Amino acid sequence: MGRLNGCLIYDRREAEDRDALGRAADWREIHGALPLPDQREQAARCMDCGVPFCHGGRILNGMVSGCPLGNLIPEFNDLLYRGLDQAALGRLSLTNPLPEMTGRVCPAPCEAACLCGFNQEPITIRANECCLAELGFENRWLPPIGNMGDRGGVAVVGSGPAGLACAIRLRQLGFSVTVFERDDRPGGLLMYGIPNMKLEKAVLSRRVEWMEASGVRFRLNTEVTDIAALSSEFGAVALCCGAREPRDLNVEGRNLEGIAFAVDYLTEATKAAVYGKASSLSAFGKDVVIIGGGDTGNDCAATAIRQGCSSVTQLEILPEPPTVRQVSNPWPEWPRVLKVDYGQQEYIALRGHDPRVYEAATEAFVGDDGATSAVRARVKGETREFPARLVLLAMGFLGPERRLARSMGLETDERGRLKTRGCETNLTNVFAAGDMRRGQSLVVWAIREGVEAAEAICAAAMHTMCAPA
């Protein structure tokens, strides 16, 4: 695979992101791309390691290691290196229906499991993947799915990554597909939950247009509450509604104005950016405190900077991670090391320091005239107050919206996730996929779940057709 000794000949290279100071003033995508010959060199670094961990998708010590989709990484890297780009894209598309999304927003557990990463820098798998996806659209190597026969109609509820992946796979299997989305545009989390500078919406719109050309129908501004009516219209239903019940923080002062969930803040900010209007929940001129140190908290920081905030403080309850991998965290586990993401990079460039405060447990929200003015937290044994006119709760999600499951008569577990046998719920011909079934997870897991649900629907349909009368 790749060039013999390529990992010894070439160093890892990634395209430089746009300058942190310059990009913080707009909403355009922050990432660049290497010239194609340079990207081929990066693919050449992929060696014939015999048993590639990169496409294993296993859980090690509570974290994913390798690609959950089972992407044939050494194979498409080899084809990219040899200039067989269309074949490389075809190999990638066998397992990944949305490579332009994962190539931008996936944290790349495949790279963490790359054998090169044992004692040097891993292969640029995500960038190689994104390169192939862009070549595919640029050269029109992705023709719409043609008429594959008619195995019946399926309703897909929700158009996030699980819903889109499920719809694409169902079309490939010969089903007619209608996707129901309660928002005004398809995409779910990809549309309004991920900021434009991380995933430009033109990339998403391009894929949706391809799906429509492939025969997928979208019904927007439609919230599904009656599963029985939907089941009477369609042969099967795939529920891909995500895990959108945010984790709250019930401490003193929670009823003050100026406290919002991160998902609501990012949704309003992205809608404002997409439609060119002012956000109804803006950080302009405000001291912002973000509670939660993960990717969502980082997205909030980057968004607040672009809205013209006065300051950002990001409170993280965990200790600061080490800068290098520890003995207790060996390869191929996900490396638990300090990461300075794009939002923090921008704040450092603007203000000269990292916005994160570690080992900070929020004790209370302080207010005046009914609105929040500060956050009181216990930081390494010391009580501190951080000025805050806007507080964003970015502590993850508890699971699917429970009212939806209750209204549909769906069985759930103690975490609110839909109970399934395989992918089928307690209701006949009603299937579930993505965060709704798995709980909050990565986009790449949602894509895998969507594909598996589509194949389960196909298997159920074939079983019905073959059953004796």
Q: Of residues 11 and 416, which shows the higher confidence score?
A: 11
- Whether the CB-CB separation of 308 and 415 falls below 8 Å is answered with no
In this structure, which amino acid lies at residue 58? R
- Whether the CB-CB separation of 301 and 347 falls below 8 Å is answered with yes
Domain 248-395 in the same topology as domain 153-245+398-466: yes
Provide the token pair at 280: 């109804």
In this structure, which amino acid lies at residue 426? N
Q: Scanning the structure block, which residue is given the tokens 């805050």?
A: 388
What is the biggest distance separating any 2 CA atoms in the chain, rounded to whole angstroms? Answer: 74
Please give the Cα distance from 114 to 302 (Å, whole number).
Answer: 30
Phi-psi region of 422 (alpha: psi -120 to 50; beta: other; left: phi over 0): left
Average pLDDT over residues 17-38: 96
Give the tens place of pLDDT for each residue, 368-382.
999 999 999 999 999
Phi-psi region of 416 (alpha: psi -120 to 50; beta: other; left: phi over 0): left
Provide the token pair at 412: 């759930």
Please give the Cα distance from 434 to 423 (Å, whole number).
Answer: 10
Residue 1 has pLDDT above 80, yes or no: no
Say which CATH class 248-395 falls into: alpha beta
Please give the Cα distance from 115 to 55 (Å, whole number).
Answer: 11
Residues 6 or more apart whose CB falls under 8 angstroms from that of 22 comprise none
Q: Scanning the structure block, which residue is given the tokens 């970015």?
A: 394
Please give the Cα distance from 293 to 288 (Å, whole number).
Answer: 14
What is the pTM (predicted TM-score) of this model? 0.95
153-245+398-466: CATH topology is FAD/NAD(P)-binding domain (3.50.50)
Q: How far is the first Cα of the chain from the last one, in angstroms, to the nearest whole number?
A: 51
Residue 406 has pLDDT above 90, yes or no: no
**What is the percent of the chain where pLDDT is above 70?**
98
Average pLDDT over residues 99-125: 94
Average pLDDT over residues 91-108: 96
Please give the Cα distance from 182 to 250 (Å, whole number).
Answer: 29
Give the tens place of pLDDT for each residue, 245-294.
899 999 999 999 999 999 999 999 999 999 988 888 999 999 999 999 89
Residue 468 has pLDDT above 60, yes or no: no
In order of 24, 151, 223, the CA distances from 235 in angstroms are 48, 9, 19
Q: Scanning the structure block, which residue is given the tokens 């937290």?
A: 377
The reported pLDDT for the residue numbered 118 is 87
Average pLDDT over residues 88-112: 96
Locate all alpha helices (DSSP H) within 94-174, ordered by sequence.
99-105, 109-112, 125-138, 161-172
Alpha-carbon dihedral 172, 174, 176, 178, rounded to 10 degrees: -30
Confidence of residue 466 (pLDDT cuts 50, 70, 90): low
Confidence of residue 465 (pLDDT cuts 50, 70, 90): low
The reported pLDDT for the residue numbered 405 is 82
**CATH match for 6-138 among 3.40.50.11440, 1.10.1060.10, 3.40.50.410, 1.10.260.30:** 1.10.1060.10
**What does R_g of the chain's alpha carbons equal in angstroms?**
23
Give the tens place of pLDDT for each residue, 186-222.
999 999 999 999 999 999 999 999 999 999 999 999 9
Give the dihedral sign, CA 97/98/99/105.
Answer: negative
DSSP 303: H
Per-domain residue ranges of the chain: 6-138, 153-245+398-466, 248-395
- For 217-243, the DSSP string reads EEE-S-----HHHHHHHSSEEEE----
Give buried/exposed letters for 389-422 (b at 16+ CB in 10 A, else e): bbbbbbbbbbbbbeebbeebebebeeebbbebee
Give the tens place of pLDDT for each residue, 145-196.
988 778 899 999 999 999 999 999 999 999 999 999 999 999 999 999 999 9
In order of 236, 282, 340, the CA distances from 345 in angstroms are 46, 21, 6
